[in-house]
Amino acid sequence: MNRKFLTLILLLASMAGVATAQNRYGVKSGIITQQSQMGETTIYFDNYGALEAQKMKMDFMGSAMEMCIIRKDGKTWMVNSSEKQVQEMPVQGADVNFLNLTDAVKSQYKIKEAGKEKVLGRECTKYTMTMDQMGMSMEQTVWVWNGITLKSLTDGGQFQFGNEAVKFEENVEVPASVFEIPKF
């Protein structure tokens, strides 16, 4: 696996911490637009986070890419629209439900509260945590409102990555089609 692809997978996994609990969010549905150094991500979710699709348009190391991570039915798929590929992904990333942080999860990821700050006018709890993914350790700071990460900064040692919500539409009708796994 080439280094460029491995780095991309690590970045995407850090953005899409997979939580298995059905009620991950305190909002039924929403559409969040995030900006990062690499481009734009639109996150669609429904059923309190049981369904989620993250559609990314990015420029990664000089290559334009369109990717989508879809989570539903306890599974995760990575869809590469540019290459017309779909891959079911093993569960990676932090299994964190910020609505129900247990002592075991706090200990596993070394989660600590780091204060309160506003993002998009919403009072967020700021957390620091450590994640080990694919043999790499990453430090992450997240700003969470109602279980939803509105801002994050990840430090993987050899790279740093951040994203922040610039628009959030709450309790909107999200088309079921955004959660469909394409058949190329």
Report the distance separating Cα 177 and Cα 114, nearest Å.
38
pLDDT, tens only, 100-114: 899 999 999 999 999
pLDDT, tens only, 147-160: 999 999 998 888 88
Of 88, 72, 63, 68, the C-alpha closest to 2 is 63
- Tell me the domains of the chain and their CATH numbers: 3-171 (2.50.20)
The answer to whether residues 31 and 46 touch, using CB atoms and an 8 Å cutoff, is no
Output b/e per residue, 56-71; b: 16+ Cβ within 10 A: bebebeeeebebbbbb
Q: Which two tokens stand for residue 145?
A: 């409102």
Of 172, 180, 149, 181, the C-alpha closest to 162 is 149
DSSP string, the chain: --HHHHHHHHHHHHHS----SS---SSS-EEEEEEESSEEEEEEEEGGGTEEEEEEEEEETTEEEEEEEEEETTEEEEEETTTTEEEEEPP-S----TTS--HHHHHHTT-EEEEEEEETTEEEEEEEEEEEETTEEEEEEEEEETTEEEEEEEE-SS-EEEEEEEEEEES----GGGGPPP--
Per-residue tens of pLDDT for the chain, all 184 residues: 444 443 444 444 444 443 444 589 999 999 999 999 889 999 999 999 999 999 999 887 777 888 999 999 888 999 988 788 999 986 655 568 999 899 999 999 999 999 999 999 999 999 999 987 667 788 999 999 999 999 999 988 888 889 999 999 999 999 999 999 998 8
